[in-house]
Structure 1
């Protein structure tokens, strides 16, 4: 165990050092220098916090690794169980997102005649924002209700309840990967080919899953005691659909100051990142400030979520 902690500490220190160097090489003026210094201080503080919470950070991946066979069986069964008893089975997992996508395209492109997204087809702009958001919605809703749905497992003393939010985040990936492949196919049809920039999709999939996982630990533990939390999350997701630039072009619509305010939302980074990888052909390191900001927020949420979950889990079997 001591050896694992040393390796984990080395990884954290290297990540902090690389992040500081990454920001230092992207200073262009006095303002960017002040912002970079501030972010470097935050990264260093977060690094110290991570070192003090090494067990919290690596407990989840270690638990999944130890029970990896059972975990993958549960993930596959979780995906299939949603459609047990229906005639068309998993077909329904794809129908609702496709209908929603077509409705939004019709309303904004045909009905309202909007969609000023530059040189790119509006349908591609819409898909590259809406498909990642579908994953956010499904994974967050699933994570929030994971303990309630698997309450019979929570009450078993030998079962590690900490893998249940991860289970929902991974289960939602099955449909997400299919739609991303479909998005790339449509992009190829429109003449926007697959290249090295497209590889960043894997980075943004991991980034979105990591952020959602941290939020899921918070919401799952809260829902166990406060059942209305699932309804609150649904309302927040509806608000997020419009505050996150999924169906409109933020850079072409908002003033610079207002754009910064919208970018504070970490899901902005995710949606914009998928468009960078597929449409705009930009690397994630071309926006160092927002990349550093996203990971500071995501890691802080993850550590806080896991600690919150672990503090309350001794009471889960009593309230479910």
Structure 2
């Protein structure tokens, strides 16, 4: 009885938020935006919001069950996440320092190729504002490294912890989160390096830096939504690991990391912004040196969260559907 009452309250809140978002969407106008483009954005945003809230309502029970499992096992998740991170570098002399070495080498390599050999120079971000290429590059690579670490790790979490999956009493649903949490530890260290690089180039700490917490949370939830689907599917379709590796290679070039999204024509730019990682990457950059709040990008923020919630609902449904067969297949 209490669960049904809680369900009604939560769904009422979700529908109220969706209704408010639709009203704001219809009333919102950007005088600098093309009217035709703005109309298309409004139509698609309304479709996504409406579809998202309907799907959430239909699949509420599966999402609620997953959320309850994660909350009730939060201490175990924290303990296993730390152990997972430590065991990656167990026995090595430098230990967890190795988690930062490959990303730093990658940044250096791209800087030498694009910054020194091809002379990319300073990158214009808006109007007359430009930033050093190495800072521009690092701000884009930091969130991507987290994504490219957490997604494959979360995808193979059930395979890696096969012995736990076969235990009847163990909550298998916490395993994907453990791998994503382990990737967060590396991300925190690399974000600290980004802030140091920013200060070396004269971009001193500001209140906008607090947005890094928001964008990290955005990426965390987005990756978590993906890995609940991929970790369940890969148990039955092992080739998914290789497919994800290829998609990550393509995705890095399809995301404005090494290149500036402003070089794309205004008509084609919305297509690239359909990539949720473009929102994250641009958000990191605007937090470090852009001096922009995330709510100033109204359509992008709305689109990102609607897509992320949809992916999470779908991921939770797939995981719950396939979960009873995990132990038999492994």
The answer to whether TM tops 0.5 is yes
Q: CA RMSD in A?
A: 1.7
1:172 is paired with a residue of what secondary structure?
Answer: helix
Normalising by structure 1, report the TM-score: 0.94
What is the CA–CA distance in structure 2 between the aligned matches of 1:207 and 1:301, rounded to whole Å?
13
What is the CA–CA distance in structure 2 between the aligned matches of 1:40 and 1:101, rounded to whole Å?
39
**CA deviation string 1:50-71 (max 9, x = no partner):** 1222223333332122112211
8 A Cα contact 2:139 2:285, kept in partner: yes
Residue number in structure 2 paired with 1:270: 280
Q: In the TM superposition, what is the alpha-carbon distance from 1:34 to its structure 2 partner?
A: 5.0
8 A Cα contact 2:55 2:310, kept in partner: no
1:71 is paired with a residue of what secondary structure?
Answer: helix
Q: In the TM superposition, what is the alpha-carbon distance from 1:37 to its structure 2 partner?
A: 4.2
2:124 is aligned with 1:113: no
What is the CA–CA distance in structure 1 between the aligned matches of 2:226 and 2:54, rounded to whole Å?
22
Q: Mark the runs of 5 or more structure 1 residues left unpaired by the alignment.
A: none
2:225 is aligned with 1:214: yes
2:216 is aligned with 1:205: yes
What is the CA–CA distance in structure 2 between the aligned matches of 1:288 and 1:225, rounded to whole Å?
39
Q: In the TM superposition, what is the alpha-carbon distance from 1:25 to its structure 2 partner?
A: 4.2
8 A Cα contact 1:27 1:36, kept in partner: no
Residue number in structure 1 paired with 2:255: 244
What is the CA–CA distance in structure 2 between the aligned matches of 1:181 and 1:150, rounded to whole Å?
31
8 A Cα contact 2:48 2:307, kept in partner: no
What is the CA–CA distance in structure 2 between the aligned matches of 1:262 and 1:42, rounded to whole Å?
18
Aligned counterpart for 2:316 among listed residues 293, 302, 306: 306
8 A Cα contact 2:59 2:317, kept in partner: no
8 A Cα contact 1:116 1:249, kept in partner: no
2:235 is paired with a residue of what secondary structure?
Answer: helix
Q: In the TM superposition, what is the alpha-carbon distance from 1:82 to its structure 2 partner?
A: 0.8
What is the CA–CA distance in structure 1 between the aligned matches of 2:122 and 2:250, rounded to whole Å?
22
Residue number in structure 2 paired with 1:123: 134
What is the CA–CA distance in structure 2 between the aligned matches of 1:7 and 1:203, rounded to whole Å?
26
Residue number in structure 2 paired with 1:78: 84
What is the CA–CA distance in structure 2 between the aligned matches of 1:174 and 1:53, rounded to whole Å?
32
8 A Cα contact 1:22 1:288, kept in partner: no
What is the CA–CA distance in structure 2 between the aligned matches of 1:18 and 1:199, rounded to whole Å?
26
What is the CA–CA distance in structure 2 between the aligned matches of 1:112 and 1:204, rounded to whole Å?
31
What is the CA–CA distance in structure 2 between the aligned matches of 1:34 and 1:106, rounded to whole Å?
41
What is the CA–CA distance in structure 1 between the aligned matches of 2:64 and 2:212, rounded to whole Å?
24
8 A Cα contact 2:234 2:240, kept in partner: yes
Residue number in structure 1 paired with 2:127: none
Normalising by structure 2, report the TM-score: 0.91
8 A Cα contact 2:228 2:316, kept in partner: yes
1:257 is paired with a residue of what secondary structure?
Answer: coil
The runs of 4+ residues in structure 1 deviating greater than 4 Å are none
